[in-house]
């Protein structure tokens, strides 16, 4: 098994020394194997966004290490960090984060345009991932002209077009109606199963979490319980998650 992500004793304290400080992460350790779909659940304020921000190099930890493909990303210099983020990380946000004045095609192309990939190759890759996500028909529209579910598909295509090592999602279904949420989750499951995309998804929602193969529960900046789906059905796993949340 290949560990795509290895997080060791990660801590994060907000605020400068001598000022008011808050320790949001208190020694988080876990890893994600290549091709896994891992969920992270936890109450509001438990440290989920803090964790994802560090894992995606948007923020730096106070101590500890984060290895992606065996490279410690917390030790990278600023410019290397941006380069690494552009190449190895895909991110889907709750509120899509699409650029409204670019077409969907241009939005999806962004990670490749920023890497100076040749126009022809960009064109081919955008067509390929759009077809994979069922959005070929809306590429020349603008984000303002499509539905929420379609927007999240465009955002997913943008997150995957450069073939990143890992896909992060921070409540990716949070702004979607239940039908669009299910469609997105089914697509993520399919990408995970058939294209072996490694996924780490933060969510409050037990239904979304039930699509993961493994769930880590974070509480007050620490990982407590872990649940594995194993051979359970989605419904059985969902019931197990609900029961676990009831105990907390
Ligand atoms: N920039 C900051 N400065 C100081 N404290 C912060 C900062 N950002 C977050 N915190 C604190 O760190 C803790 C964890 O915040 P975080 O945003 O990671 O939580 P979360 O699990 O993502 O919550 P939610 O589910 O509401 O999004 C919270 O108590 C929060 O108030
Ligand atoms: Mg958050």
Domains of the chain are: 3-247 (3.40.50.300)
Helix, strand or coil, per DSSP, at residue 151: helix
- Binding site membership of 221 for ligand 1 (Cβ less than 6 Å): no
Query: What's residue 17's pLDDT?
Result: 86
Query: What's residue 114's pLDDT?
Result: 87
Q: Ligand 1, atom 25: nearest CA belongs to which residue?
A: 44
Q: How far is the CA of 25 from the centre of ligand 2 (A)?
A: 13
Cβ-based neighbours of 156, under 8 Å, separated by 6 or more: 92, 133, 172, 184, 187, 188
- Partner residues linked to 91 by β-bridges: 168
Q: Ligand 1, atom 27: nearest CA belongs to which residue?
A: 44
Q: What is the pLDDT of residues 136-146, one digit of tens each?
A: 999 999 999 99
Residue 72 scores a pLDDT above 90: yes
Distance CA 27, CA 35 (A): 25
- Binding site membership of 198 for ligand 1 (Cβ less than 6 Å): no
Helix, strand or coil, per DSSP, at residue 90: strand
> What kind and span of H or E run contains 9?
strand 3-14
- Candidate of 47, 56, 170, 202 to mutate for ligand 1, largest count of ligand atoms within 8 Å of Cβ: 47
Model-wide pTM > 0.85:
yes
Cβ-based neighbours of 46, under 8 Å, separated by 6 or more: 218, 219, 220, 221
Residue 73 scores a pLDDT above 90: yes
Residue 248 scores a pLDDT above 80: no
Residue 79 scores a pLDDT above 90: no
- Binding site membership of 14 for ligand 1 (Cβ less than 6 Å): yes
Q: How far is the CA of 219 from the centre of ligand 2 (A)?
A: 13
Query: What's residue 188's pLDDT?
Result: 94
Res. 11 pLDDT band, cuts 50 70 90: very high
Q: What is the pLDDT of residues 149-205, one digit of tens each?
A: 999 999 999 999 999 999 999 999 999 999 999 999 999 999 999 999 999 999 999
Query: What's residue 126's pLDDT?
Result: 97
* Mean pLDDT taken over the chain: 94
Helix, strand or coil, per DSSP, at residue 132: helix
Tokens of 91: 């991110």
Cβ-based neighbours of 74, under 8 Å, separated by 6 or more: 54, 60, 61, 64, 65, 66
Residue the block writes with tokens 């002209």? 145
Greatest alpha-carbon pair distance for the chain in Å reads 56
Phi/psi of residue 229, nearest 5 degrees? -75, -35
Query: What's residue 169's pLDDT?
Result: 95
Distance CA 222, CA 61 (A): 14
């Amino acid at each position: 098994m290949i560990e795509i992500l290895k997080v060791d004793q990660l801590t994060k304290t907000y605020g400068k020394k001598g000022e008011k400080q808050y320790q949001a992460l208190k020694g988080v350790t876990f890893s994600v194997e290549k091709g896994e779909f891992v969920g992270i659940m936890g109450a509001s304020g438990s440290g989920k966004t803090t964790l994802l921000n560090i894992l995606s190099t948007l923020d730096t930890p106070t101590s500890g290490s984060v290895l992606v493909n065996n490279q410690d990303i917390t030790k990278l210099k600023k410019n290397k960090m941006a380069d690494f983020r552009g190449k190895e990380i895909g991110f889907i946000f709750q509120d899509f984060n699409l650029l409204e004045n670019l077409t969907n095609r241009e939005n999806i192309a962004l990670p490749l345009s920023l890497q100076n990939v040749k126009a022809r190759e960009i064109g081919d890759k955008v067509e390929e991932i759009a077809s994979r996500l069922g959005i070929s028909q809306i590429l020349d529209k603008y984000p303002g002209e499509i539905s929420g579910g379609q927007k999240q598909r465009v955002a997913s295509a943008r997150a995957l077009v450069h073939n990143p090592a890992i896909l992060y999602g921070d409540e990716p279904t949070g702004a979607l109606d239940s039908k669009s949420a299910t469609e997105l989750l089914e697509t993520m499951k399919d990408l995970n199963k058939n294209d072996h995309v490694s996924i780490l998804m933060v969510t409050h929602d037990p239904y979304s979490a039930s699509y993961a193969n493994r769930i880590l529960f974070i509480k007050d900046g620490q990982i407590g319980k872990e649940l594995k789906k194993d051979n359970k059905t989605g419904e059985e796993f969902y019931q197990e998650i609900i029961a676990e949340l009831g105990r907390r």
